Amino acid sequence: MEQLTMETSREQHLQWAKQRALQVLEYYGSPSQALISLSNDLMKHSELRTHAAIELGTQLFIVGKLGTVAAMRKFIEDCS
């Protein structure tokens, strides 16, 4: 018997991932935890597994461009 799975749309999943990452950012005040949350959630959707925010966010964080709560919030909010 085939198992049917319902997957949310790309846009719905992206908005959910962004919302969760922003919640993590606000609760923990940790840009790194917010980026981990965003990346992990994006990888859970077949159409978002290779989203540019995963690699770009990691690179920007490593070079210090996303080290503040404000910078990470803007990055997350700007993801599309």
- How far lies 30's CA from each of 14, 48, 49, 52, 61, in Å? 20, 23, 23, 21, 12
* pTM (2 d.p.): 0.89
- Nearest CA-CA partner of 25 in 77, 78, 80: 77
- Nearest CA-CA partner of 31 in 55, 60, 9: 60
The conformation of residue 4, written as its DSSP 8-state character, comes to: P
pLDDT at 3: 40
pLDDT in 10s for each residue of the chain, 80 residues: 444 346 789 999 999 999 999 999 999 999 999 999 999 999 999 999 999 999 999 999 999 999 999 999 999 999 99
pLDDT at 5: 45
